[in-house]
């Protein structure tokens, strides 16, 4: 009786085979990204041109930095809606402190006029590398302060992260706009701008005979944003996977009470997670500002934040906490950026882009439901 009733477990597992292994794989989203790229390439050759690849990567770096911040907050079962506003605040403050000059016709009515910024430039302009570092540092510090306050409200006062960070988004965003009365701050110093697009290693695909390389055919391969993003990603990965703090982050997200009883300093971990999210958002904001060559108080508004959350969740990080990896977010961002890029190349209008994004988020959610079911089944 038993022999008939119970199927041998081994063949059952083999039957699920390849597809199940692929679905269950940590690298699923990476394979998806690669697959998507390869499938699309024959139909959309521009996708693979050096110019587009450079464009793809340069779109990826700042988003990646911000999404990694979101990953930490999601790991503790939170959400950070204030990242966009934090980016705006950082970019505006840094630009105000470091601008080499400003147009009084545009900015004279701003409250920072005459305080941080004047016709002759920002407070820290013309003080060399130290000034630059100080300016960027102060702007990042302001961002981290916002993150700390988010964390304190969530951890100490048990306020829902959604509302806390929504309010922080309102206040920080409005504050940035108030600072400049909604004007962009231009005239950033060269070194700052270099942060956005400066290249270290470039590739030239043109003819070798020309003595003067045509700028259009020099493709920046290793850029400052790339270096910054990769350093951030490696450090964040290492922080989350390898350090005591990182393991505590996951523990708090998985079961806050069990973590507390096991000696995890829950309040501190929560506060730091939100602070990290703001820190990474700030770095991302600086990268965007450098690329735009302006401090923009409306940076990161609109649906930017939904892109960040979408990319993070697609990577596989759970909104309910306890399940997060930086590497997943790297894949999620890569997929999201490739998707947007390919849709743009297809000359699709923004509505198509929106709809495909929506569909992809849904698809990812459905896959996650399926994957969870699958892994549950696979267990003895």
| Binding to another protein, residues 142-161 (CB under 8 A) | 153, 157-160
Least CB distance to another protein at residue 159 (A)? 4
Shortest CA distance to 230 belongs to which of 57, 44, 80? 57
Shortest CA distance to 168 belongs to which of 193, 151, 183? 151
**Phi/psi of residue 219, each to 5°?**
-110, 115
DSSP β-bridge partners for residue 121: 118
Least CB distance to another protein at residue 39 (A)? 22
Least CB distance to another protein at residue 2 (A)? 7
In whole angstroms, give the CA distance from residue 141 to residue 165.
18
Output the six-digit token pair for 37.
């790229």
CB-wise, 65 or 313, nearer to another protein? 313
* 84 CB-side CA count, 13 A: 20
| DSSP code, position 188 | -
**Residues of this chain, 63-102, that bind another protein according to CB under 8 A:** 81
CB-wise, 129 or 380, nearer to another protein? 380
Q: How many residues bind another protein (CB under 8 A)?
A: 73
377 near another protein (CB under 8 A): no
CB-wise, 200 or 234, nearer to another protein? 234
Q: Which of 44, 197, 265, 344 binds another protein (CB under 8 A)?
A: 265
Least CB distance to another protein at residue 29 (A)? 15
**Residues of this chain, 272-311, that bind another protein according to CB under 8 A:** 302-303, 306, 309-310
Least CB distance to another protein at residue 363 (A)? 9
Q: Which of 40, 230, 353, 374 binds another protein (CB under 8 A)?
A: 353
Name the one range near another protein by CB under 8 A: 137-145, 195-203, 327-335, 349-357: 349-357
**Phi/psi of residue 249, each to 5°?**
-55, -50
**Residues of this chain, 309-328, that bind another protein according to CB under 8 A:** 309-310, 313, 319-320, 322-323
Shortest CA distance to 54 belongs to which of 270, 203, 264? 203
- Reported residue count of the chain is 380
Number of Cβ atoms within 10 Å of the Cβ of 343: 18
CA angle at 255 for the pair 376 and 276, rounded to the nearest 5°: 110
**Phi/psi of residue 114, each to 5°?**
85, -15
**Residues of this chain, 170-199, that bind another protein according to CB under 8 A:** 170-171, 173-175, 177-178, 181-182
CB-wise, 181 or 202, nearer to another protein? 181
């Amino acid at each position: 009786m038993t022999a008939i009733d119970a199927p041998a477990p081994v063949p059952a597992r083999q039957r699920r085979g390849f597809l199940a292994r692929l679905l269950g794989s940590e690298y699923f989203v990476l394979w998806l990204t690669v697959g998507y790229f390869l499938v699309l390439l024959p139909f959309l050759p521009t996708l693979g041109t050096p110019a587009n690849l450079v464009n793809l990567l340069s779109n990826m770096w700042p988003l990646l930095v911000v999404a990694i911040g979101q990953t930490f907050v999601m790991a503790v079962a939170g959400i950070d809606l204030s990242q966009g506003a934090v980016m705006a605040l950082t970019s505006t403050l840094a630009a105000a402190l470091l601008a080499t000059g400003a147009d009084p016709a545009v900015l004279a009515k701003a409250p920072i006029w005459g305080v941080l910024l004047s016709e002759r430039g920002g407070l820290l302009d013309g003080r060399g590398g130290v000034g630059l570092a100080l300016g960027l540092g102060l702007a990042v510090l302001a961002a981290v302060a916002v993150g700390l306050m988010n964390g304190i409200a969530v951890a100490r006062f048990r306020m829902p992260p959604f509302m806390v960070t929504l309010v922080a988004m309102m206040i920080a965003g409005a504050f940035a706009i108030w600072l400049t009365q909604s004007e962009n701050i231009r005239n950033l110093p060269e070194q700052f701008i270099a942060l956005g697009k400066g290249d270290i290693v470039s590739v030239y695909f043109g003819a070798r005979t020309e003595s003067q390389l045509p700028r259009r055919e020099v493709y920046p391969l290793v850029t400052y944003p790339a270096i910054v993003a990769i350093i951030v990603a490696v450090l964040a990965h290492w922080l989350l996977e390898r350090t005591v703090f990182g393991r505590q982050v996951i523990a708090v997200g998985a079961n806050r009470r069990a973590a507390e009883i096991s000696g995890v300093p829950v309040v501190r971990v929560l506060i730091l997670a939100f602070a990290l999210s703001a820190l990474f958002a700030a770095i991302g904001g600086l990268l965007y500002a450098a690329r735009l060559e302006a401090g923009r108080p409306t940076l990161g508004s609109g649906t930017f934040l939904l892109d960040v959350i979408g990319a993070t969740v697609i990577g596989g990080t759970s909104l309910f906490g306890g399940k997060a990896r930086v590497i997943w977010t790297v894949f999620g961002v890569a997929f999201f950026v490739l998707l947007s890029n390919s849709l743009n190349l297809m000359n699709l209008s923004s509505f198509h882009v929106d709809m495909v994004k929506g569909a992809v988020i849904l698809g990812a959610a459905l896959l996650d439901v399926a994957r969870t079911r699958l892994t549950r089944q696979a267990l003895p």
